[in-house]
Structure 1
Amino acid sequence: PSGALLSAVWLLLGLAGAWGRQVLAAGEGRSLAAPRLDSFPAQVWQLELSAVPGLLYVLCARRGIYCLSPDPKSDGSDRDSEDGELPCALISVDPDACLLPDAALCTFTVVADKLVTLAQGPAHWKVQLFECPRPGEDARPRGQVGEVELSISSPLTGPLGEPTAPRFLPVLRCVSPAGPSTLLSRVQGSGGFLLERALFGLLFGVDASLLESPVILCGLPDGQLCCVVLKTLVTSKLSPGDPKALVKILHHLEEPVVFIGAVKTGSSAQDVGDTHPDCLVALGHDGRVLTIKAGCDEAGTLVPALREYRLPGPVLCAACGGGGRVYHSTTSELCVVDLAQGGVPSGDLGDPPSLLCPAGLGVCSVVTLSVLSEVPEGTRGLLALSTRGRLMTCRLQLSSEVSGPTRAAAASTGQKIKDLLSGIGTVSERLSSLRKAVEQRNKALTCLNEAMNVSCILLSGREGPKPISCTVTTAWSRPQLQDVLTATFWLENSSGLCLDRGWTLCVQVLTSASASDSDMASAATTYTIPVDRLGPGDRREVTLPLGPGEDGVLHLPLTVSCALHYSLREVMGGARAPSESSKDSSDECCPDVLPEQDGISLPLCEHTVDVLWCLRFPGLAPAHTQAPGLLGPLCDPVDTFLGSFLGPRSEPTGPASLRAKFLPPSVATIKVSAELLRAALGDHHSGTSLDCAALQWLLAENAALDVVRARQLSSVQGVAPDGADVHLTVREVAMTDLGAAGPLQTVEIQVQSSSPASLCGTHHAVIGRLQVMVVEQAARIPGPPDLRVQCLQQTYSSHETLLREVQTLRDRLCTEDEATLHATAQRLLQVHRQLRSPSLLLV
């Protein structure tokens, strides 16, 4: 056979794992007879035929490199058989033929008179350079010329530290710049190839271009693609410096490199005899393809242009042919891709295509591949070896009549695929939008169903505690320099339902205008707190400030109303179809719309926060929980009036001292029938005296209730919100002059304070509780006891006279001068005291 074909046969048979250690030669167009062979000591990993001096180099696994002469030496038995078959060449493998014994060698290449090897180390790869033996010399390398190490990403040793055989063998190729002085111009089929000078200089540097030195390309199993300039490797032992500086990493494929080659992708790529490739190609085992060309940046400077593709894997072997074609074999088929500009249209002239469309050749199970050069014009020949050891030749037509429609069909197919993918994407997006709308509507219906169930259990009107309740407690705090009254709301869900998205806790605080500002309307503040999610048995705590207001005064009483609000707009807003969202953009509600107009409001509770809620008892608190000093009002008109009479003095002039000196404590009493109070208290009276139980009932919402109950107190000294002292006393008394049948047992509630405002506020709070109690017990008690009507008439008549006098004194205060003003004020205070005695009686 011819030299090129013989080289291809040696290469194919050496790399075929199914053939193991066998080496043979055969002629083109003739079938193979039963081989007569001599075995190598181990599996053959690589063969390379050197044209000069005509030697065959063989790499055996874990043995080293053997050097043989490919010239067959026939004996008398090697005669033509009767059927005309050519005799098989038999090459004797002598143990002395081991040129370089080294168990770590994984691959090699021959460059002119140099032998380049790649050995496996425990933590690196080692590139070594030897001088090949000359004709007539001993078949031994004349010595090592250079050496350099390549770093790896993971160690190559087993658990006991011994080297492990690599799963993928590295790839070693020699690249030379195209030109008349190229060393590899005659041995391209022996593992080397040429590369256009412009791309060669961009990839390997100016030194390699000026020296016109071949470059060794290394493709490692960890994905690294690196290079070493051969002439610098020759002088690496003579020149100082770090040998690792000779290594340049071009790229990282992130998968084992299985092939390195070069093709022509320019306008002359269809020329079969073109020997100036302008594109470097590297293939990975999993199908990743890397192409590197010489391109221009925005400034017009030559730069290497890298592009990556993805092909179906795994790639078993590959080969580069003319016309920009790359042949590669997978586990299922032998395919070809076209990297020339005439393949799939690309963006710029001369650039590789943006998409690779592999075309099948109808051949499977190919493990080694080589491109034949000596074939008839207009065709392309391939030599392939199958996994079963079958050697095959394939001839492909390269005429434009065949390739043109194929490329057009590939481009048309690619466009159709893009259109189909675009249509699928549009339908998928629409389907996703509709699915989302359906899910939102289903979720909205579920939320509405839960809202109806919650509404039913809250509006059912059944007796007992509500399944969803809100309790309120008050406490004093001092976040800054002023005392602040805060309310803590406990929203508790005792039902089996869940309050999900759309529910809001609405708290409205209504402040009554003071007597001095009778022309002002009551102010209301509304707080909205999203519930988020309140499952069965869950409890949510919310703390809000109640006062004082901007004027620094806490206006009591306060009406605090709590309700659950369910927003239909929030729940139904996301349940609209995609086409409905644009129609309703102009129907946005005004910002002043009340919450009740776009949802459901369910009342929970309503409380009146009065002075009894806000009284503080510093003397009852333990030492370690003693409240901080209490701050009084910013400006008290009574203190200002009294202080104007004192002038500058050395004695204390605080509010307490002024009130004690000029205003004796005012007292207001209320008497309640003991029978009526016992009926109202019910079980709370058991085990406790009636006066203590009554005081606990009055302070039921106060924070000091637990201390009062524990100490069984019937009298407490507290501090009102304005800083004035308030003395609250409850005791049992008998009224002898009112009952017709004898003394009437009553409970007297006495309020004493030096501040008229605090006295009136506390008195009003006590009366409000008693009024509610009387209304509740009116239907349960048969009737009032027998009373002396004459005594009641006298009391009513005396109070009528005193009320008329109060009106007269108030009118006189507006007209009299300062001389008589003091006497009128003193008389007015005396009349007010007489109005409170005898006190109010509830029976």
Structure 2
Amino acid sequence: MEGRCAVDTWTEFGFLRASNTPKVKLVVGTHVVVCTGDEEVYVFNVQDKRFAAVLQFPEGVVDLIESHDKHLLVACCSGVYCVDLQPLLVRPHGSSASSDPAELKISSEFCVLGGRGLSSLLLVGPLLLTLGQRNTSWLLTLYKTAQQKQPGSYEMLRSFSLPRLSPVSQGSAKTEHTRRSLLICVHSGRPTLPVPSGSHLTHRQFGIEPVLFKLLFGVDAALAKSPVVIWGLPDGRLCFLPLHLSGSQIRVLHSLEQPVAFVGASVVSETDPGQAQCLVAVGERGRVVLIRTDRSGPETGGSTAGFAERCVPGPVKCCCVDNNRLYYSTGSDLLTLNLLGSSGRQDAAVQIPTSLNVCRVIALAVHTCNEAGEVQLIGLSDRGTLSGIKLPNGEQEVGMSKLHASQVGRSVRDLLSAIGDICERASALKTVIKSQKLTLKRLNQVVNTCFLLKSPEEHLPTEEKPIRCCATVDWSRLLLKDSLNLTCVLENSSSCTLERGWTLCISVCPLSCSPVEAESSNFTFPILNLSPGGALEVSVPVAAAGGAAFPLTVNCSLAFSLLGVLEEQELESFAGLQSSFFTFSLNSLTVDWLHALQVIGPTAAQRSRATTDAVQAFLSSRQMKRRQGPDGGGESSAVYSACVWVSLELLRDTLRTRMLGLGTSEEESASISLSLLNWLLFESHGGVKMGRRGDQDGTSSSEVHARSPNEATVKLSVKEVNEENSVKEAHVEVQIESSSVAAVCGLRHAVLRRLQSLLAMVPVETAAAKMVQISDLKSALQRAEIQQSGISEALSSDVSSAQMNPFLLDVYQKLRENRLLMI
């Protein structure tokens, strides 16, 4: 193209916001309607070069079109407004050309249609079509002009829904809302429906040759002369719908795989100037699709619809077409593309775009296009400048060999710049694809882990679970205060890796309280990378000395947050996702009185550990005296005890089963008591072990002195009892002694829990699995009945609480003396 464009600046609006989508429309003869994407719509008189009117709407304008009765239909996000422009465009008599434009504030009285998420408008004869987004779908609604004289009255006929896909662009989530859909209408041959005065191209209605129409939309639509609506979407789809066919459905014509920037028709037929021979679709990243008739000849079955694709330098900000040329702007340059090629034939190869040396254009419209080849465009720049762009006369296509050297250099620079832009976009796209692949890989790992945690294997024993928790407890001293700490170890024996997004949650609460009443302590530990076979060790404070109710339940669980894999903007695109946080229970641990013991040594001759202990003992003695009262009643300072008997043969079989190095000889029977004591204190029970200090490897004595969690001194002894002249078999006695009733009860409960787990592992063939002596059982039951009757009489009589407490304590001690042998 020889020469340069002549740009005539008409007016300036000021800088436009980048998030808006401006539009330039030709309406009412020489007037241009400019929509900047804000609430204002400007009507500009091209002939007088002045503003004729300014319309202020209650919200941002997304589309506008001229109706058949010279009204302006304006679509906002929440409705369609109808404005009569004729009174605004008539200049008052005697007013000068420089007078201020008419201003009109549009209120809800101008609203003729309500809606939500509207993005496009189209008039096809008496039908008004609106396209908008509703939640997860696109909604195309058809309205018909009501049979009234009042303008702007419409009644809904029907609507069509199309699922909304995620946009194919790699921009931020904000840009998705700024992209708009595009609506056009095509007819078979010349349009027969009435349209506003002016070019059909201006009002987005095109007539295409009947052969191409039949090939694209079917014989039924061609025979019925049905107009077909085509629209382009931000996800790249080109969809169509015949309007006058009963039972017609939305179908996809093509996909550009990038947001659609323009849909139109061009390449006017020489025999019938009212018909176009080609549909044109342009994507935002430079993909151009020409849809036309491919006349391959009788040997291949006749004509078919051909889809020719090519890429031009992008990104494409705006487009428009005349008879056979496509004009588009990349923001940095305005280019033209000859759709016929250098030979002037429809099937010729499309040429390289030619620069028109106009920059910053973000909205385009064709103003004039005459037979002499004169073309004038209207352009709106991102700086808010409205200009007339007149293309040079006598344009001619020439080969590269006939171009001037300066033009060749400029073309090479343009090509290199385009290649650089493509390489930059390809590199960015490759980075995004790599990031998405990594995200999918991590999500797949997360899904596999979730299935593993929710599989039927979750009912397996704790030690057999692929992902489990175990713990040790130990006392520590800080600032003269003792505290019990729990060291929890998360073991990953599965084939999955726990990466960022996973969190280990630990909840500690007393077992004696209900979940509603209990005041639990919760701890969370983020997991960065826990590979298969690895372990994560964390420590949490369980209780302070004398300040906890044992036993304690420790609930371990794994929680996963999708924010560890996806960004917050990406999560918003998942409309059906109820929560981004998922929790999976692992296992529960129990910390009882035996776990919380502080072993002092094998003898009772222990010195006071600190001055604070002496002060505490003194305060405790004073509290005891106050409880006793002036008459000396109340609790005594006696030592309480409880015993549990276990069959010696049972212990020999079960402890040997646990591979503690015990045999069946007489020498091993002598060490059974020591082995049982070590097993009670230092083996794992309920998933928790007592921590050992230094090189401590169990105790070497069958008698242990310790401090309980309530700071009372406890004596725990195990001895073998073999009474002569007794029908009872040899057994082992576990005895608990302490001045604290709470310590005796809690420790006895802990011992029974451990022995119950031991009984569950008794071999079937063991000799210890025999019946309990009936006589012992009967006598024990008789003694229990006597004590129960005594309690009933005491409760029925009027006895004070000071007298009742010693009585109940005495009954408790007598019941503990009814020792039943565990066999």
Structure 1 length as normaliser, TM-score?
0.41
From the CA coordinates, give the structure whose radius of gyration is larger.
1
If the length of structure 2 is used for normalisation, what is the TM-score? 0.42
Structure ranking higher in strand proportion: 2
